[in-house]
Structure 1
Amino acid sequence: MKLKEIAHTRTGDKGNMSNIAVIPYDEKDYPMLKEFLTAKRVEEFFSEICFGEVRRYELDNICAFNFVLEESLGGGVTRSLAVDKHGKSLGMALLEMEIEK
C-alpha cells in the first residue's frame, strides 16, 4: 500500500531545507509507521534530490512525525531553476512511498 492510504502530510520550506510532517489518519497506525518510516528510508526515497542529512522528530503526544531534509531544494526555492521545488511537492511525493502494513 502507499503511505497516502493511511496518512497525510503538512510541509514547509526555508532556504535549502524542507520539513515534512507525516500524520496518520488513525492513531493505531502510528506504532507501525514509527517502525517503518525511518529517517534512513526517507533519505533513500529522496536520494536523488536530498544531499544533506534527514532527521526524524517523533511527536508521540500527537502521533505524528516531522522530517527535516537538509540541502533538498536545489539551493532554495528562490534560487532553483526547477519547477515547483517547494516543500509541498516533497510532501506529496512522500505519500507515494510504498509501505508494508
Structure 2
Amino acid sequence: MTKVKLIDIAHSRAGDKGNILNLSLIPYNEEHYQWLADEVTPEKVTHHLRNIVHGKVTRYDLPNIKAFNFVCEESLLGGVTTSLAIDTHGKSLSAAFLEMEIDSISENG
C-alpha cells in the first residue's frame, strides 16, 4: 500500500490555549479535502501524536474553506505558564503532525 505524508499535500499551523493544542490542516489542492476528511481522523491523529497528545482529539471540519481544525487536549505538558518544555506553545507540533502518513489518494478512489 502506497503512503503519502501530509506535508506533501497540506500545510498546518499550531496554536495553544493553556494545555490545549490547535492544529489546522489545509490541503494545497482543495480537491483533496474529502480525501483528507476520510483519512485524517481524530483516532489516527491521536495514534500519530500519541507521545505528545495525552487527551482527546476533536476534529472540526470547515468545508466552506476546505480546512480542518484539530483540538488536542492535554498536549502541552501543563501549558505555557507551567511547563518546562522548550516549545511551551507547541508551535513545532504542526511539523510533527505533517509527518503523519496516509493512504495514497489513488488507492481511495
Question: Smaller-chain TM-score range?
Answer: over 0.9
Give the number of equivalent residue pairs: 101
Describe the superposition over 1:41-82 as per-residue Cα deviations: whole angstroms up to 9, x where unpaired. Answer: 011111112111100000001110000000100000221112
Structure 1 outlier segments of 4+, above 4 Å: none
1:88 corresponding residue in structure 2: 91
TM-score using structure 2 length: 0.88
* Structure 1 unmatched runs, 5+: none
* Maintained 8 Å contact 1:56/1:68: yes
Residues 29-52 of structure 1 deviation map (CA, whole Å, 9 limit, x = unaligned): 111100000000011111112111
Letter paired with 1:23: I
- Once superposed, what is the RMSD of the aligned Cα atoms? 1.0
Q: Could you tell me whether the CA contact under 8 Å between 1:20 and 1:87 is conserved in 2?
A: no
- What percentage of aligned pairs have identical amino acids? 55
Hey, what does 1:8 align to over in structure 2?
Answer: 11
More helix by share: 1
Note if 1:73 corresponds to 2:39.
no
> Does residue 64 in structure 1 map to residue 84 in structure 2?
no
Q: CA deviation at 1:85?
A: 3.3
SS in 2 for 1:43: helix
| Whole-angstrom CA distance in 1 between matches of 2:90 and 2:62 | 20
1:12 match: secondary structure: strand
TM-score (norm 1): 0.94
Q: Which runs of 5+ in 2 are unaligned?
A: 105-109
Of structures 1 and 2, the larger Rg is shown by 2
SS at match of 1:82: coil
